[in-house]
Homo-oligomer: A and B are copies of this chain.
């Protein structure tokens, strides 16, 4: 289980770094910009969560492998990767959304915070990488736009399910797997069927 979590985390980080690097290329940035955007995309949510919860030094500062992987993947993606369809990145990105949301909620529960705040931290961990990436590219965050398929909503629903399962003393591994799984599947369905939130 530990190993699976480990592998999934690195898949998600790698996907974030790739899409960050490709995004940077679209904005005529150099490798400095690409590396920063890749970092922000991959670690922005978790960094926000750790800052708000007071968990410092931040996780990617303690474990240098996150930085090394991100550097290498960004270098390769920025200079060598071509013709990669956006669709290919949706699956690892959805894995990341599921994992990071549940991780954010788990850390909050460990600090004995209330369920609503734990859900909030789950969503923040899941979406804020993309929010900060878009701000650095000087545009309104994609996840806020009414035309975007459900993203934060998937994280919101799956994290609530995780919290409720935990409430009923479900096994942690089961609760986490179900929560992350729901987020993953919901996200893919949202993209497939172009599901968006109701407009005002």
Contact = CB atoms under 8 A, between A and B. Distances in A.
Contacts of A1: none
A84 interface: no
- Count of chain copies: 3
A141 B136 contact: yes
Interface of A: 24-25, 27-33, 36-37, 47, 51-54, 56-58, 61-62, 64, 67-68, 71, 78-79, 108, 111, 113-114, 116-117, 120-121, 127, 131, 135-141, 143-148, 151-153, 196-200
A48 B139 CA distance: 22
B53 A131 contact: no
B111 A78 contact: no
Contacts of A121: 61
Given A32-B152, A136-B135, A139-B138, A114 B64 contact: yes
Given A53-B61, A140-B136, A32 B116 contact: no
Contacts of A200: 25, 78-79
A115 B28 CA distance: 30
A32 B78 contact: no
B30 A197 contact: yes
Given A47-B52, A144-B29, A199-B30, A61 B117 contact: yes
